[in-house]
A and B are shown apart, each in its own frame.
Chain A
Amino acid sequence: MMLLRLISWPYARKHGFRWLLTIAGIVLGVAVFVGMHTANQSVLAAFQQTIDRIAGKAQLQVTAGEPGFDEGVLDKVRSLPEVSAAAPVIEATVSAGGTNLLILGVDMLGDRSLRTYDLENSEDGIDDPLVFLAQPDSLMVSKTLADRKGLTIGSRLPLDTMAGQEVFIVRGIMQPGGLAGAFGGDLAVMDIYAAEKMFGRGKRFDRVDLALKEGVSLDEGEEKLKASLGPGFQVEPPSSRGQQFEATSRVYAIASDITSLFALFIGMFIIYNTFAIAVTQRRAEIGILRALGATRAQIRTLFLAESALTGLAGTALGIVAGLALARAMAGYIGSLLQDVYGVAQGAGEITLDPKLALAAGAMGVLTSLVAAVIPARNAARVDPVKALQKGQYQSLSEGENRARRRWAIACVCASLVALGFGRIGVVLYAGFLLAVLAAVLLSPAVTLWLARAIRPVLAKVRPVEGTLAADSLIQAPRRTSGTVAALMLSLALVVSLGGLARASYDAIAEWMHVSLNLDLLVTPVENLTNRTFVLPESLGAGLRAIPGVADVQMVRGVRIQVNGSPVMLLAADHGALMRFSHQPLVAGHPARMLEQTLAGAGAIASENFVTLHGAKLGDSVEIPSPSGMLHMRIAGVVRDFTDQQGTLFISRDAYVRAWNDTGITSFGIFLKPGFSAPGVRQAILNAFSAKSRIFVMTNAEVRGYIDRLTNQWFGLTYVQIAVAVLVAILGIVNALTVSITDRRRELGVLQAVGGLRWQIRHTIWMEAAAIGVIGLALGLGLGAVQLYYSVQVTQRDIIGIDLGYAYPFGIAFGLLPVILGAAWLAALGPGEQAVRGSLVEALEYE
């Protein structure tokens, strides 16, 4: 403690700005980690809270994927002696006056066995239960919603239904809390039979909630229900819906984890750099301490304690910044989850999870400690005699360089060997890590070499300033290499993310070209991922009768559980299956694949389905349906981007037989030659929009929608890129600040002998530009390697699709002005600092 107070504190005060920059590295990493996780947790907690509040006293829920099941299942459940109460539910989200409203369709007679509506004892609770039940336009709303929209008993609320917009009457108001608090209070309850009609569900329920008789355990109840209903039904506690939601949005969670971890990783380099510089700067100080009797352990502990305190301060600020970030991101995440996964759930209250705070604290401090281990060890090894001699402490010894090179070559070799065994996950990740480590180890030597290489160029541009700037870098490789390494890692991340994004865009464009070659798409919703509403099969005949329509293809999309994981099932008629079978083929024979699928014996699997489920062509896949388990052979594998969790294409006939569901989620329309899409669209709207809720999109609109969705998804990538660039700028500012401080006397002498202020400024700017260019060169090189591994990891563990390797040259070229601009911006402050200080003080420095 005494050493910290006497030695570390004065140094930190003297170099306050640099310490702030160091802390900023941790702040950024922790803020991104805390922000993204808090925002995620907030959405998940709100979803879980909605589930809990809606579940009421229900102990188990019977489901069969999104299509639900026939009403008859309810009687089957109720007839079991283990069941004390069972109530059917339809749950859907609709838009009401710009806000999402959760509609809960319940059996108003029996539902109170499971849920408490908390309105009977209130005077304004419900108007008349019999009228409520008798009239299908009855709605019971939460007090929160009523207050927000100014609704009272008898108010009229227009809502979207399958028959277009219909007016509902508020006949009950639920008191706040309990069920009424679900979905942030944006909840309305209606009769389940009215809900079936409203959402076009036919005579189907989404699920059955149930309570067991006293003395019947959950396991026992679950087992009996599964045995009675068959393998096509899932019988699970309500809380498992939260797990399903987490499983569905798995890719998003992985992406946000990668962003925050990378931010911390780069932050670690900034800390390493700062401490490495601090050790070299404080060699004399360390020498005196050692001469006075301080042990090596004490010196090591001193630096580690400084680092821990830095980490702690950075973590504290990072948590505060993270909470602010979470507030800013919550809305984006909510809409991303709704648009990409079709799960409408806004974020709840943003609160810091103590476990997350602990994890962030541990990560921040640990990252800081890990970063300081090598500098602390170096500090402890300082020879007191040599330390007290003035010398080139920023230079790297040839021995040190040689050792680094040897280690780097070993890492490269090991990484190359690992490539041969890349199918094994651990080996692939180890290879990735070794490749990055090799780049980091080689960065000082390559930096020195590149600095020497660009010296003539800089000298040609500005003979005096250019030479001074290059020499500054050459003479202090220790100071420069840390910054260059951080910049290299940041830019490599930008290249690999940019490359992945580019490859994804290209692959999606190719996929759209084949599978979305239709002229018009008719759907019951404007959002293609929302499957709340379902169109009747009979609409197909009506569409075929519209002049100009050559062909109508029907598709029913539902999310189901296969092997316990959420999967998209697309049940397509003959024409639509033909279209889907023309998607880029990964495995199988096109004709046989189509033949087997049309016969109902096989399914076409998407590439990500087979990768994520460890399946291959010819394997049998078990698809649970209300009529039992369907055993289908994987007849072919295609590259498809419909769903991140994988897609199975089956024949619509097989689906209708197994699910007894004739609903349609989209009609693909192909036009006869000579007919225009806008004209036929208008004809369709004229014919059906008054009777049914339909949206007609042209091909360009569908593509535009998918493009928007892709852009929205890659919004997260842009955050990652922004973090990487920000860290890079921080690194440059840090290095330049150190450089100015180190060269204060040198710069003072320059001014004293007639050097002009603008010359000093230009020297600093050129030094920054040189760091930028060197970092860019290394970053673009490492980016090429990192992109390879990113493509492998993305295929293997994230989306299951081989996006192919394509170096993003456009992004690489684009980075040059960005980094040079960032370097110039980063150099502005230090440049001014260099010219504005007192000349006398500068000459007296050291």
Chain B
Amino acid sequence: MNKIAIILLAAAAGVAWGQDGHQIMLEVQKRQHTNSMRYEGTLYSCTSPKGCPANSKALVTKRWVYERIGDFGKSKGILRFTGPAEVKGVALLIVNHPDAASDQWLWRPAVGREQKVAVQDRSTRFFGTDFTFEDLEERDADQYTYTIDGEMNGQWKIDAKPKKASGYTHCYFYIDKTNYTFQRIECYNKKGLARTIDYTDFEMIQGIWTARSVGVIDTIRKTRTAMHYDKVDYNLPLKDEAFTVEALRIAE
């Protein structure tokens, strides 16, 4: 699943009894459903394994705008960087498919070229953050097999195994039992724990529980990325034509 989307679509409602992992995840998806969304985000990425004190050269800050349209598994999204000046205009178009890996195109205004991101490149880190391109993909709840691995601190620990090709062997989803929001994701690859994602600062926005802050740790490189979301809006009148390669080139 698109972790960013998951974060923003996290919501909670009611209490579930006797649900299996798949049913829980369908409920999470249902509560997070929107026709479209838009947010502005700020990203803090610490590229040093030793940590990043304030004003450290290794602490990189970036801002972007993300817009998304469509249903889960079939959605389209554009992530466009707005700052700093050196990266302004760089954009990524993601077209998700329910039964195949997403198509992704990168637009670099200074080079004047769009470039398709190959399937082989999905495990590459997303521009120095601790996300990979695969993490930006959105996957329907049906594209995982789930097993409830236990319950603790009011959360379900669900073992999710991807049905499609993935850089991960499996992930543990920690879902809040009260509001069906993601609290934490732990993803494993062949070498072991690769990435952890923690969701905090939840806020109800237009009826949807939304995490305002997310912390991602690359456990292998021991680097950290922190994100903060501002101006989150759901169900905006966004047009399908704005999510094409042509639009990627034009709209800066």
Contacts and interface: CB of A to CB of B under 8 A. Distances in A.
A97 B118 CA distance: 37
Q: How many B residues touch the partner, as a band?
A: 20 to 34
B60 A134 contact: no
Given A75-B116, A131-B87, A134-B89, 7 more contacts: A110-B124, A123-B48, A128-B87, A130-B81, A131-B86, A133-B108, A134-B90
B115 A120 contact: no
B194 to A, nearest CB: 14
4 tightest CB-CB pairs across the interface, nearest first? A129-B128, A130-B127, A110-B121, A85-B120
Contacts of B60: 128
A74 to B, nearest CB: 8
Contacts of A135: 86, 110
B26 to A, nearest CB: 33
Given A134-B90, A135-B86, A193 B111 contact: yes
A582 B124 CA distance: 57
Contact of A121 (B58, B106, B116, B221): B221
A710 interface: no
Contact of B110 (A78, A84, A134): A134
Interface in A86-136: 86, 107, 109-110, 112-113, 120-121, 123, 126, 128-131, 133-136
B118 A129 contact: no
Interface in B183-204: none
Given A123-B58, A136-B110, A193-B115, A130 B120 contact: no
B113 interface: yes
Interface string B57-85: 01010100000000000000000010000
Given A120-B221, A123-B48, A109 B87 contact: no
Residue from A78, A109, A135, A193 with most neighbouring chain B CB atoms (10 Å)? A109
Interface of A: 75, 78, 84-86, 107, 109-110, 112-113, 120-121, 123, 126, 128-131, 133-136, 191, 193-194, 197
Given A112-B124, A128-B60, A134 B86 contact: yes
B125 interface: yes
30 contacts: A78-B119, A86-B118, A109-B115, A109-B117, A109-B133, A110-B118, A113-B120, A113-B121, A120-B221, A121-B49, A121-B221, A123-B48, A123-B50, A123-B58, A126-B47, A128-B86, A128-B128, A130-B81, A130-B87, A130-B90, A131-B87, A133-B106, A133-B108, A134-B86, A134-B108, A134-B109, A134-B110, A134-B111, A135-B110, A191-B111
Nearest to A75: B116
Contacts of A107: 115
A309 B201 CA distance: 88
A78 B86 contact: no
A757 to B, nearest CB: 84
Given A86-B120, A110-B120, A121-B49, A130 B58 contact: no
Interface of B: 47-50, 58, 60, 62, 81, 86-87, 89-90, 106, 108-111, 113, 115-121, 124-125, 127-128, 133, 221
Contacts of B117: 109-110
Most buried by A among B89, B113, B119: B113
A108 to B, nearest CB: 9
B86 to A, nearest CB: 5
Nearest to B218: A120
A78 B101 CA distance: 14
A438 to B, nearest CB: 68
Nearest to B50: A123
Contacts of A110: 117-118, 120-121, 124
A107 B108 CA distance: 13
A130 B58 CA distance: 14
A128 B47 CA distance: 9
Contacts of B116: 75
A126 B124 CA distance: 15
Contacts of A129: 125, 127-128
Contacts of A86: 118, 120
Contacts of B58: 123
Nearest to A137: B110
Contacts of B50: 123
A382 B29 CA distance: 108
Contact of B120 (A75, A78, A197): A78
Given A123-B58, A128-B60, A109 B106 contact: yes
A321 to B, nearest CB: 52
Contacts of A75: 116
Contacts of B110: 134-136
Interface core residue of A113, A134, A194 (most chain B CB under 10 Å): A134
A517 B129 CA distance: 60
B72 to A, nearest CB: 26
Nearest to A108: B124
Contact of B113 (A112, A123, A193): A193
Contacts of B111: 134, 136, 191, 193-194, 197
B127 A133 contact: yes
B69 to A, nearest CB: 24
A109 B121 contact: yes
Contacts of A109: 106, 115, 117-118, 121, 124, 133
Which of B48, B110, B111 has the most A CB atoms < 10 Å from its CB? B111
Contacts of B119: 78
A120 B124 CA distance: 12
A448 B49 CA distance: 87
Nearest to A131: B86
A194 B110 CA distance: 10
Contacts of B89: 134
Contacts of B120: 78, 84-86, 110, 113
Given A84-B120, A109-B117, A123-B48, A133 B125 contact: no
Nearest to A120: B221
Contacts of B125: 129
A776 B108 CA distance: 73
Contacts of B86: 128, 131, 134-135
Contacts of B113: 193
A134 B124 contact: no
Contacts of B118: 78, 86, 109-110
**Most chain B C-beta atoms within 10 Å of own C-beta, residue among A85, A130, A133, A136:** A130
A194 B112 CA distance: 10
A197 B113 CA distance: 11
Contacts of A120: 221
A109 B92 CA distance: 12
A191 B128 CA distance: 16
Contacts of A126: 47, 128
A134 B86 CA distance: 7
Contacts of B106: 109, 133
Nearest to A85: B120
Contacts of A78: 118-120
Contacts of A193: 108, 111, 113, 115
A85 B167 CA distance: 14
Contacts of B128: 126, 128-130
A126 B89 CA distance: 21
Contacts of B47: 126
A806 B81 CA distance: 73
A363 B117 CA distance: 58
A194 B118 CA distance: 19
Contacts of B221: 120-121
A202 to B, nearest CB: 12
A370 B111 CA distance: 68
A119 to B, nearest CB: 11
Nearest to A114: B120
Given A121-B49, A193-B113, A134 B87 contact: yes
A91 B28 CA distance: 50
Nearest to B123: A113
A53 to B, nearest CB: 21
Contacts of A113: 120-121, 124
Contacts of A197: 111
A136 B109 CA distance: 10
